[in-house]
Amino acid sequence: MTGEELKTIIRKSGWKQGDVAKELGMSAQNFSAKFKSNKIASDLVERVQEIISRPVNGNVSVGGDVSNTNINSTTLDGEVIAIFREQLDRKDEQIKSLLDLLNRQ
């Protein structure tokens, strides 16, 4: 996932970048610098997803499981969920490949 994609996801979630940075325990400037990358680390993407899945200003949001939830205008939309699912699918493929390698030894 690119920095621009992550920035779009955060914007669409209703969260502000500065608030996500604060939740991550980093400065807004340091977090903003991450968006310049062509590839964001998967652990950062996962941490951001966990944060933006929570309610914003008391509104109901998606929650931890994005596969079977109702979505309103203040939460993740279908496009954003598709991006997260794609990331999870890639991660699952990598895990399977690593397990296959371990089983061969």
* pLDDT for res 63: 40
Range of the domain at 76: 3-104
pLDDT, one tens digit per residue, over 43-76 is 898 899 889 888 775 443 444 434 333 444 445 5
Calculate mean pLDDT across residues 28-50.
90
- 23 phi/psi in degrees, rounded to 5: -65, -35
* pLDDT for res 77: 63
CB atoms within 10 A of CB 78: 8
Structurally, the chain folds into a number of domains equal to 1
Residue 16 has pLDDT above 50, yes or no: yes
| The model's pTM | 0.59
- The mean predicted confidence, pLDDT, of the chain is 78
